[in-house]
A and B are shown apart, each in its own frame.
Chain A
Amino acid sequence: MTQAQPDLLAKIATGIPGFDVFSEGGLPEGRSTLIAGTAGSGKTIFANQFLIEGIKRGENGVFVTFEESPQMLRKNMRGFNWDIQQWEAEGKWMFVDASPADHNLPLISGEYDLEPLISRLKHAINQVNAKRVAIDSLSSVFSYVPNMAQVRAILFKLAQILRELEITAVLTCERTIDYGAISRYGVEEFVADNVIIMRNALLKEKRRRTIEILKYRGVSHQHGEFPLTIIPHQGIVVIPFATDVLKSKSSSQRVTTGNEELNRMCGGGWFKGSIILVSGATGTGKTLMTTEFIDGGIKNDEKCLLFALEESHEQLLRNALGWGIDYEQMETAGKLKIICRYPETMGLESHFVKMREEIEEFKPQRVAIDSISALERISSSKGFREFLLTLNILFKEKGITTLCTANTANSLESDSITQSNISTNTDLIILLRYVEIYGEIKRGLAILKMRGSQHDKNIREISIDQNGMSIGQTFRHIVGILSGNLTYIDANRIDRLDDLQTEI
């Protein structure tokens, strides 16, 4: 419907990465947009970022602050590298300071109104010739005027002035709960054609920040909640799920796995740009497989980026050296970059934004994440699913061959949430399992699925030594490795089965 007729309303950019994408251009120009959110959901930062983007584009701004004083705001926003003071000096930014004054509360004698707010706003807009206005927050107006009818009158007047002057405005308002009525006093009815909701919901002890466009009157936008993160030096970054999965590239070019026998098992190597999941319990050889994957890439003159979420840089170097691979030299040559970051150092969304930045900066052909399941413990399962999806789309878009490892909780069994979350958009799944044989622990490797190619269906024994991983014989006397229910089979019976098959 909205597609058929062209949008009569233009949009203007907010400068919030991701937001301008999913809002299909930013905020409707010349209109007021209400940003409703609970305390700490990022409304003030949104308002600031919106004004700052304007200044970058030569559109000056006015900030009406009811809560924090201009001094506090200048100081707080400096943390994002935003120098408001300088813009004020240059006449590009003006505060209307309606924050609580330090003098005593006034006494009341008879009726009064909020007219000066209007005249001050008009004055400030004229002073800097503003195109953008932020009011933070409207809810405070209610604390000045106890009478609902007066509030309505003043908000109406505000909205009218902004409309007349063709100002694009961001008005914030408080919500008491993340899921419920839009705002405490129902202000949205009077002031804004457009409503955006910011949330900072607590789900299972984890905070999840999201942003949603509730309505844009007469203008198109994408629906649903999008995760966001607030990053030092950048402000808000929204993570829009790329909806254009179908644009992703698909290659039939094979690249080495870093292990000769594994290449053979996969019919000549992995496809370039595919996503590989290696799943197994601790100690089954996931990190080794990652190391060989990187080694193979470097030998092939591909740039590799390793995200290590469980081990320190030194540990990694030592491990790799133990298998005869010199990470340090690769790093010095600029072919390899190792980024060690413990999952708990930041939220999942921040991890994503950082990873994306690093990928865009280093431009690797191969990426390894060891392990992706470590990130699971810092987010809700919904958030983690979205993270994986978005990350995979990023890799697909860039045609990066990616290997992710996942820890299985149970050392013998195969099920894990990571696997069920990740497996639908991976191209290849490799299982590494402990196998118990007559009182001895061995390791097994199986290729569970490989898109677009034939592969070895046997469960093979692997051994690990100073030369890395060697893939050996098939486990012939055991069934039930994948299910974790091992059963030994008599060698004679297997021979008889083989004989039967050859006869047929």
Chain B
Amino acid sequence: MSQKLILKLYVSGNTLRSRQAIANLQTFCDRELPDNCAVEIIDLIEFPEIAELEKILITPTLVKVSPEPQERIIGDLSDTKVLSLVLNLPSHFPTTK
């Protein structure tokens, strides 16, 4: 079993785009990483100081906190290929054999 994934998803308010991002991430994690993934959702309208601290300019932003290296994805996460790539899920890499 690989290391546990820690993810942070930054959104701006309860907008359609925020909900979409949350839903897309939820679906993806449930499907690909059951029980191996901790997601924290942060609303930057409520906590703008966190946006300043983390230098986040775009929402939704997904940050892979752990394992290292830190990586960021922006957008509503509708493109799951990008997600697999960043979250390093080998099953989704095209096989050359």
Contacts and interface: CB of A to CB of B under 8 A. Distances in A.
Interface of A: 96-98, 101, 103-104, 106-117, 119-120, 122-124, 144
Given A106-B61, A113-B59, A115-B13, A120 B51 contact: yes
Given A119-B12, A119-B44, A119-B48, A106 B74 contact: yes
A66 B51 CA distance: 15
Nearest to B58: A112
B44 A112 contact: no
Interface stretch (B31-39, B79-87, B89-97): B79-87
Nearest to B85: A107
A108 B82 contact: yes
18 contacts: A96-B52, A97-B55, A98-B57, A106-B58, A107-B82, A108-B82, A109-B73, A109-B74, A109-B82, A113-B12, A115-B13, A115-B59, A116-B10, A116-B44, A116-B57, A116-B58, A120-B57, A123-B49
Contacts of B82: 107-109
Given A97-B55, A116-B44, A144-B58, A111 B49 contact: no
B65 interface: no
Please tell me the size bucket of the interface on B: 35 or more
Contact of B52 (A109, A111, A120): A120
A114 B57 contact: yes
Contacts of A109: 62, 73-80, 82-83
Contacts of A119: 12, 44-45, 48, 51
* Those 3 A-B pairs whose CB atoms lie nearest each other, nearest first: A115-B12, A123-B48, A110-B75
Nearest to A123: B48
A119 B61 CA distance: 15
Contacts of A108: 73-75, 79, 82
B59 A116 contact: yes
B27 to A, nearest CB: 13
B17 interface: yes
A327 to B, nearest CB: 61
Contacts of B59: 112-113, 115-116
Interface of B: 10, 12-13, 17, 20-21, 24, 44-45, 48-49, 51-52, 55-62, 69-80, 82-83, 85-86
A112 B74 contact: yes
A114 B10 CA distance: 12
Contacts of B73: 106-109
Most buried by B among A113, A117, A119: A119
B57 A123 contact: no
Contacts of A111: 17, 75-76, 78
Given A112-B58, A115-B59, A116-B44, A106 B17 contact: no
A191 to B, nearest CB: 18
A110 B71 contact: no
A400 B20 CA distance: 75
Given A108-B75, A109-B76, A116-B59, 15 more contacts: A101-B55, A104-B72, A106-B61, A106-B71, A106-B73, A106-B74, A107-B72, A107-B82, A109-B74, A113-B58, A115-B44, A116-B10, A116-B56, A119-B44, A123-B49
Most buried by B among A104, A106, A110: A110
Contacts of B85: 107
Given A103-B70, A108-B75, A110-B79, A122 B60 contact: no
B34 to A, nearest CB: 21
Contact of B12 (A96, A97, A116): A116
A4 to B, nearest CB: 46
A97 B48 CA distance: 13
Nearest to A102: B55
Most buried by A among B17, B48, B56, B83: B48
Contacts of B56: 116
A122 B75 contact: no
Nearest to A115: B12
Given A107-B86, A112-B58, A123 B76 contact: no
A97 to B, nearest CB: 6
A124 B75 contact: no
